[in-house]
Amino acid sequence: MITMQLSRIWKNRQFSLLKIRRVVGSSMQPTLRANALVYATSLYRRLMPGDIVIINHNGLEKIKRVEAVQGSELFVLGDNALESTDSRTFGWLNTSTVQAKVIWPRT
Amino acid sequence: MKLLSKFIKPVYAHCDLMCGVYDPAQARIEAQSVYNACKKYAESDDSVFKERAVIIKEKRADLCKEHLWVLWTDYFKPEHAEKNPGLHDLVWRATKAAGDAKKSMDAAVAQKLIDLVDEVGAAFAMTKDGYDYNAVKSNMEKQAV
């Protein structure tokens, strides 16, 4: 398990024990409002539906909720479905795009 | 805290549609212009005026179609279509009616476009709390010739 984690971290080359980020945009409302601070870590065991993740997509760090995990692929959605561009538009993502999993706020 | 948060890197709760502003009033205004142009065309004997009425009507019908497309492709989401199973067919018929209105100077054809745009407006209102499409409709009816 530790080897797998290390290998994922090495592949991503984006390891950080704690990432603090400021939310921009409305796609995660009402869970995360604009300017909310989130704390996330690259050190997580696995991804589950319901987890909020920071992904690297088209050169931007984006925050979405995991809807489904199938093998090495993820389907992510914004909590505010009406104002979110997510896997409904850009499709499934590889888990390697995940930079970190949000640990706070706990939602 | 606010100042401090400015120094923290952003993470995007991303939406391609940054403005998030949609309103079927745009399509309704253009549909009303199409109707009024048809009426004014019929009432005029001035060939230059009639020619202008045709040109303006075609442009407005095109804009109406464009606004309907924006609602269809950008605003309406799968959840809306689930709640309103006739939505896709309705928008399809409305855009077709805009095409028909481009080809015709008949006010009845323009009225059909207005009626379908009104149905799209009502469908839109069902998805947005507090949005009053009847106000749009009533304002436009006051400007009908």
B42-65 tens-digit pLDDT: 999 999 999 999 999 999 999 999
CB neighbour burial string for A39-49, b if at least 16 within 10 angstroms, e if fewer: ebbbebeeeee
User: Would you call B11 and A85 a contact, using CB atoms and an 8 Å cutoff?
Assistant: no
SS (H, E, C) B65-103: HHHHHHHHHHHCCHHHHHHCCCHHHHHHHHHHHHHHHHH
Q: Which residues contact A92 (CB under 8 A, 6 or more apart)?
A: A70, A73, A74, A75
pLDDT at B18: 52
Residue B74, Ramachandran bin (φ over 0: left; ψ between -120 and 50: alpha; else beta)? alpha
Candidates B115, B114, B98; CA nearest to B63 is B98
Q: Rounded CA gap, A52 and A76, in Å? A: 9
B80-129 tens-digit pLDDT: 999 999 999 999 999 999 999 999 999 999 999 999 999 999 999 999 88
Q: Which residues of B touch A77 (CB under 8 A)?
A: none
At residue B40, the 3 state secondary structure works out as helix
What is the amino acid identity at position A8? R
pLDDT at B130 over 90: no
pTM reported for the whole predicted model: 0.55
Q: Are A40 and A21 in contact (CB under 8 A)?
A: yes
Q: Is the ipTM value over 0.95, yes or no?
A: no
A71-87 tens-digit pLDDT: 999 999 999 887 888 89
Residue A107: pLDDT band (50, 70, 90) is: confident
Q: Rounded CA gap, B113 and B122, in Å? A: 14
A9-68 tens-digit pLDDT: 565 556 778 999 999 888 899 999 988 999 999 999 899 999 999 999 988 899 999 999
Q: Which of A21, A64, A88 sits opposite B8 (nearest CB)?
A: A21
All domains in chain B, ordered by first residue: 22-143 (1.20.120.400)
Residue B77: pLDDT band (50, 70, 90) is: confident
Q: Which of A34, A38, A62 sits opposite B14 (nearest CB)?
A: A62
**CATH 2.10.109.10 given to domain A19-104:** yes
pLDDT at B4: 65
